[in-house]
């Protein structure tokens, strides 16, 4: 029998509406089949591990990422796949973090959640949970069909570190514009085998060191020197600079001088675009040529979520800043497309 571990961290998917107050309250997830009786018809075994206390996804942190990785490591040989039930707001951050923290993955780790509680009449919770379990259990010639960290939501399977939440009102909550959907659930589960990562060849490695000393500088027309200086002089090791278009910034001398000063002080600056579709191309225009020359690192088409968690992972596990800069521009887990 195929064995799947369900890890319930919290979120709407594990809630029910109290009929007296109308307030959402968590239910005992060990009794999930009472709320989703269809699970009894699945032809594999699953076990539930619930976090105690449950965690609102807005309170997710690197410590919880480490706890999740430790739990998966402890159970890795016992189960064929893992389903993590998670609040949708920060699901892409968690999926991205896990993708970097688990190296050489050869089993599915599928995150899912819902926009409505499981006992709602029009709930999306049941379909998301059931199909996530099916994907986690899916095999071909005895090997996992999707040996990577993914998000399943509203009939689509996304690579976790390519996704972001874009809608809080619709069931279609996630998108992945810079990478194809890995599977779609219709009458049949259709997998895009060409775009799914190959399983790791060596032994799987679990990395639990993260460093969250990361700042963010989001540019806008008219941003003042003291705002830029405050971001660049903050107590952090790296700064994610969200730029315009294909990586462009102001060419005013004061701005470029502040960037050079931060780099001279040992800070790493990672350039990602504010655009959701497309990639950073340093040097393509005059407005980004000087960035490339001074040592700003290209994030290519990484999402903000992937950029944050990749920096956490690299600063936690790599000592050389030069090596970190090199690895940021390297496709480690399918998180970016090299130009």
- Residues paired with residue 158 on neighbouring β-strands, in sequence order: 151
Alpha helices in 76-185 (DSSP H): 91-101, 125-137
- Residues paired with residue 50 on neighbouring β-strands, in sequence order: 8
Strand 164-165 versus strand 174-175 pairing type: antiparallel
In three-state secondary structure terms, 239 is strand
Q: List C-alpha distances in Å: 333 to 56, 85, 122.
A: 27, 22, 36
The two three-digit tokens of residue 217, written as one number: 């500088």
Within 13 Å and on the Cβ side, how many CA atoms surround 138? Answer: 21
CA atoms of 101 and 65, how far apart (whole Å): 9
330 is catalytic: no
- Give the active site residue among 12, 90, 112, 303: 12
Contact 148, 191 (CB under 8 A): no
Beta strands in the chain (DSSP E): 3-8, 15-17, 24-26, 45-50, 81-85, 102-103, 109-112, 139-140, 143-144, 149-153, 156-159, 164-165, 174-175, 183-185, 189-191, 205-206, 214-218, 238-243, 268-273, 297-298
CA atoms of 45 and 91, how far apart (whole Å): 25
Give the position of tokens 């960290």. Answer: 149
Burial of 99 (0-12, 13-18, 19+ CB in 10 A): buried
Give the position of tokens 């040989």. Answer: 77
Query: Among all residues, which ones are annotated catalytic?
Result: 12
């Amino acid at each position: 029998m195929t064995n799947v571990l369900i890890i319930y961290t919290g979120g709407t998917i594990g809630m029910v509406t109290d009929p007296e107050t109308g307030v959402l309250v968590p239910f005992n997830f060990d009794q999930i089949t009472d709320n989703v009786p269809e699970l009894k018809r699945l032809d594999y075994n699953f076990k539930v591990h619930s976090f105690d206390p449950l965690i609102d996804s807005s309170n997710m942190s690197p410590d919880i990422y480490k706890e999740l990785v430790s739990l998966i490591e402890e159970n890795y040989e016992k189960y064929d796949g893992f389903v993590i039930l998670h609040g949708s707001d920060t699901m892409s951050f968690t999926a991205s973090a896990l993708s970097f923290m688990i190296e050489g993955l050869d089993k599915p780790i599928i995150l899912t959640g819902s926009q409505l509680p499981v006992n709602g009449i029009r709930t999306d919770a049941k379909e998301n949970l059931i199909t996530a379990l099916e994907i986690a259990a899916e095999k071909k010639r005895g090997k996992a069909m999707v040996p990577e960290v993914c998000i399943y939501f509203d009939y689509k399977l996304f690579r976790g570190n390519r996704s972001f939440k874009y809608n809080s009102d619709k069931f279609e909550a996630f998108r992945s514009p810079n990478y194809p959907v890995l599977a779609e659930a219709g009458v049949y589960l259709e997998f895009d085998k060409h775009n799914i990562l190959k399983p790791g060849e060596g032994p799987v490695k679990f990395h639990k060191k993260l460093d969250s000393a990361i700042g963010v500088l989001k540019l806008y027309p008219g941003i003042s020197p003291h705002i830029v200086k405050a971001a660049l002089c903050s107590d952090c090791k790296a700064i994610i600079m969200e730029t315009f278009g294909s990586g462009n910034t102001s060419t005013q001398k004061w701005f470029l001088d502040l960037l050079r000063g931060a780099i001279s002080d040992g800070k790493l600056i990672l350039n990602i675009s504010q655009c959701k579709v497309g990639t950073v191309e340093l040097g393509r225009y005059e407005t980004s040529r000087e960035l490339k020359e001074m040592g700003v690192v290209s994030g290519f088409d990484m999402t903000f979520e992937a950029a944050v968690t990749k920096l956490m992972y690299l600063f936690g596990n790599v000592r050389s800043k030069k090596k970190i800069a090199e690895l940021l521009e390297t496709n480690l887990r399918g998180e970016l497309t090299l130009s």
